Structure 1
Amino acid sequence: MLNNTSAPEFILLGFSGFQEFRILLFFSFLVVYLFILLGNALIILLSNMDVALHVPMYFFLSNFSFLEMCYTSVTVPRLLGDFLTGPQAISLQACITQMYFFFSLGTTEFFLLAIMAYDRYLAICQPLQYPVLMNSSVCACLACSCWLGGFLTPFLPIAFISQLPFNGSNQINHFFCDTSPLINLSTGDTFMADTMVFLVSAVIVLVSFLLTLTSYALIVSTILDLPSASGRHKTFSTCASHLTVVTIFYSTVIFMYLCPHSGQTSELEKVVSVFYTVITPVLNPIIYTLRNKDVKKALGKVLSRTKQLAT
């Protein structure tokens, strides 16, 4: 579907203004990337190995962890290479492909966050009906719907972008192929592409945000009705970690894709992009392991078994 008149390649400028710190940035992002891969892989491993974690919450968390590993892998390896060698060329086909997978996985993340909030709502507000409403088949259908919806939703806006002519500047002032910087380089009429990207982004972000917000509003209402302070604290702690990830992810994405900008990617916008592409995936293993008693208990069991096998 790519336009034959399009420029053959682009240059991702990335953080070219910080070239004197490129080695430091390389190792910093490398450590963070490895932590994301290993931390989220650990969550998936524990959720599958420990029978106590075979519940809907950790089933969705395993999906979320796998998603974060894929989501980060779309952008960070390329960024690491650019830190070592300087800005490198990327073909239009590769740029469109990166953009598609980035927004497919990002859309899936919105859907999963909403489903995870709904799961917490049912567990806290409908505890007696929860085992029936969120059984294994329902969980599987919800997870598959998130992944399928995530990969189908961005197809139309990406198709519009791929048909734009690029006969002028080929420098993308970003560290990955984002929609706005690429559309701004087109020499053709970008109205339909801009409109389609904004409408799809607005619908996905706002609808999933409202669903998530509604779930947490009902959860808070239920928590406030609990008779004891200790009960309120214990119940809220089960969803506080999820709420932390949701707050950071939604606030940065809304700033980037739903707020008006000048049309030129600023250094601030690049830093904000780092938050939802790198920082949020880092928080996932930290919040869900270091602050979760069930996961820490499962980790202790695995380490104990490993130690016994070693001896």
Structure 2
Amino acid sequence: MLVNIQAQDQSITYTGCLSQVSFVLIFGGLENCLLAVMAYDRYVAICHPLRYTVIMHARRCVLLVLLSLLVTTVNALPHSLMILRLSLCTDLEIPHFFCELAQVIKLSCSETRINYLLMYLGTSLFAGVPFSGVIFCFTQIVSSILRIPSIRGQYKAFSTCGSHLSVVCLFYGTGLGVYMSSAVSDSSVKNAVASVKYIVVPQMLNPFIYSSRNKEMKESLRHLISGTPSLL
């Protein structure tokens, strides 16, 4: 998208488009899995604090990240290979700001039933399972927080997962909005705008959300809003 804006050229090569489809599937799925892993990390920290260092040791964290990358790559590979078997029509204009899998499939003049079946199956499995894990972890977290007798203790426990909860709501909320808008409206412009909120906005806001708990960042933001010079 940035290259298109800079060069004022919206064209992309066939190889580049396939690569973009693969990378979007891999990194989108990876974020989905990592959100589930981070939710599990917060679940262990709040529900089993005394066993946290035993359960979430460095080796297990590395294995969870590598497993997430492996799963998302395995999911992206068949989609990319199935696109190669499609015969594309003469009209090769994609009404989007990137090569989205569904939009690329629509360009085909050959049979696409298997492609759509694979896409729906992959979305249901590789997005539904991590999301279910996130829901389960936060259900257990909220249940544990409500059992804490003091308000201060509840606030301290909630603050450990507040940033992650914000990212989860932003990621899944915008993603759900994309699919709901696609089901209600066939407007390519509206779908592209909705996809910006799903692909660009969450990743852009992630550093700000996760750094909001940093004491120095809070102090700098307070000085920025008040207009007073910061001593940092």
Asked if these proteins are the same fold (TM beyond 0.5), I'd say yes
Q: 2:182 touches 2:191 (CA, 8 Å); kept in 1?
A: no
1:225 aligns with 2:144: no
- Using the alignment, how far apart are the partners of 2:179 and 2:196 within structure 1? 14
Q: Which stretch shows the higher mean deviation, 143-152 or 218-227?
A: 143-152
Aligned-residue offset at 1:263: 8.8
1:183 aligns with 2:105: yes
Task: Look up the match of 2:135.
Answer: 213
- Using the alignment, how far apart are the partners of 1:292 and 1:286 within structure 2? 10
Q: 1:108 touches 1:147 (CA, 8 Å); kept in 2?
A: yes
Q: 1:128 to 1:291 in 2, by over 3 A?
A: closer
1:197 aligns with 2:119: yes
| Unaligned runs of at least 5 residues, structure 2 | 221-232
Matched-pair identity in %: 36
- Using the alignment, how far apart are the partners of 1:187 and 1:139 within structure 2? 45
- Using the alignment, how far apart are the partners of 1:117 and 1:241 within structure 2? 11
- Using the alignment, how far apart are the partners of 2:214 and 2:133 within structure 1? 25
Q: 2:51 aligns with which of 129, 132, 135?
A: 129
1:170 aligns with 2:92: yes
Q: 1:271 to 1:157 in 2, by over 3 A?
A: same
Q: 2:191 aligns with which of 269, 293, 299?
A: 269
1:82 aligns with 2:9: no
- Using the alignment, how far apart are the partners of 1:258 and 1:194 within structure 2? 18
Look up the equivalent residue of 1:117 and give its one-letter code: A
1:248 aligns with 2:170: yes
Q: 1:181 touches 1:265 (CA, 8 Å); kept in 2?
A: no
Q: 1:183 touches 1:190 (CA, 8 Å); kept in 2?
A: yes
- Using the alignment, how far apart are the partners of 2:187 and 2:7 within structure 1? 22
Q: Which stretch shows the higher mean deviation, 280-289 or 223-232?
A: 280-289
How many residue pairs get aligned? The number is 219
| Unaligned runs of at least 5 residues, structure 1 | 1-78, 300-311
Q: Which stretch shows the higher mean deviation, 210-219 or 194-203?
A: 194-203
Q: 1:105 to 1:181 in 2, by over 3 A?
A: same
Matches within 5 A, 1:12-23: none
- Using the alignment, how far apart are the partners of 1:267 and 1:185 within structure 2? 17
Q: 1:119 aligns with which of 38, 41, 44?
A: 41
Task: Look up the match of 1:68.
Answer: none
Query: Relative CO higher for 1 or 2, CA cutoff 8 Å, sep ≥ 6?
Result: 1
Q: 2:89 touches 2:109 (CA, 8 Å); kept in 1?
A: yes
